[in-house]
Amino acid sequence: AQSVTQLDSHVSVSEGTPVLLRCNYSSSYSPSLFWYVQHPNKGLQLLLKYTSAATLVKGINGFEAEFKKSETSFHLTKPSAHMSDAAEYFCVVSLGGGYNKLIFGAGTRLAVHP
Amino acid sequence: GAVVSQHPSWVICKSGTSVKIECRSLDFQATTMFWYRQFPKQSLMLMATSNEGSKATYEQGVEKDKFLINHASLTLSTLTVTSAHPEDSSFYICSARDSYNEQFFGPGTRLTVL
């Protein structure tokens, strides 16, 4: 069965420092993986997606994630945090390898301090 | 990008009444829409898959008679919470899948049952 585990419920960084949000997945076959961001009172926004092409995926707003099959990980990174990055981030796996059912991780709340 | 709207954005109702939430794909047709539920500070849980012109597919543990889903057109799906109770209070989010198999999320509807 497919599942995702976000290893940190809260991450706090200073503005201008790197961001690392960790995600491990479990899948019986090659998965499709996504990172979504949810700002307060706003809809979910797709940051990036992995669908068996390049293992290093670049997304919007300077975020990127690397698919590591050997580690079953898909961690989200950004070199330099901005105040506007403060939000809830969800790692998501898709059943069926495409945009079928999405299974959400528990979420990681990112706080960015000046 | 594709836009999905939800109406209303928030609703307060009395216990025992029914509430209808609309999900619309504004600039594309969606044969499949999904309904999620998000409790405070928690992740999204898939409730059901709504297919245009056919019955919805509900996830295990979701009462189909409690949460009525209608997907009468390629741009509209509705979720009706029947005989609502305080424990139904939650944030309900829909998503719509386009012809490229990409999902777009609505901004969500906050339901409070008194």
Residues 6+ apart with CB under 8 A from A27: A2, A72, A93
| CA B2 – CA B22 distance, rounded (Å) | 17
Closest CA to A63 of A32, A21, A92: A21
Cβ contact B102–A99 (<8 Å): yes
Three-class SS of residue A11?
Answer: strand
| pLDDT at residue A32, as a whole number | 87
Strand order in the sheet with B67-73: B4-7, B19-25, B76-81, B67-73
Which residues of chain A make contact with B97, given a CB cutoff of 8 A? 99
How confident is the model over A76-97, as pLDDT tens digits?
Answer: 999 999 999 999 999 999 876 5
Residue A47: Cβ within 10 Å count: 22
| pLDDT at residue A96, as a whole number | 65
Cβ contact A101–B93 (<8 Å): no
B34 to chain A, any CB pair closer than 8 A? The answer is yes
Which residues of chain A make contact with B103, given a CB cutoff of 8 A? 99, 102
Which residue in B has a C-alpha nearest to residue A107's C-alpha?
B43
B43 to chain A, any CB pair closer than 8 A? The answer is yes
| High-pLDDT (> 70) share of chain A, % | 96
B2 to chain A, any CB pair closer than 8 A? The answer is no
B103 to chain A, any CB pair closer than 8 A? The answer is yes
How confident is the model over B16-52, as pLDDT tens digits?
Answer: 999 999 999 999 999 899 999 998 878 899 999 988 8
Cβ contact A101–B49 (<8 Å): yes
Which residue in A has a C-alpha nearest to residue B107's C-alpha?
A43
Residues 6+ apart with CB under 8 A from A84: none
Between the alpha carbon of residue B85 and those of residues A38, A101, B11, B21, the distances in Å are 27, 28, 13, 16
Output the DSSP codes for A23-65.
EEEE-SSPPEEEEEEE-TTS-EEEEEEESSS-SEEE-GGG-EE
Per the prediction, chain B carries an average pLDDT of 92
In the numeric block, the tokens 């543990």 are attached to B61
Cβ contact A103–B46 (<8 Å): yes
Q: Which residues pair with A86 in a beta bridge?
A: none
Q: Which residues pair with A93 in a beta bridge?
A: A33, A103
Cβ contact A43–B101 (<8 Å): no
Which residues of chain A make contact with B7, given a CB cutoff of 8 A? none
Cβ contact A98–B101 (<8 Å): yes
Report the range of poorest mean pLDDT among A61-70, A90-99, B46-55, B60-69: A90-99
- One-letter amino acid at A99 equals Y
Residue A42: Cβ within 10 Å count: 12
User: Is residue B103's pLDDT more than 70?
Assistant: yes
Closest CA to B79 of B50, B40, B106, B103: B50
Report the range of poorest mean pLDDT among A6-10, B5-9, B49-53: B49-53
Cβ contact B43–A99 (<8 Å): no
- How large is the average pLDDT for residues A35-63? 89
| pLDDT at residue A72, as a whole number | 92
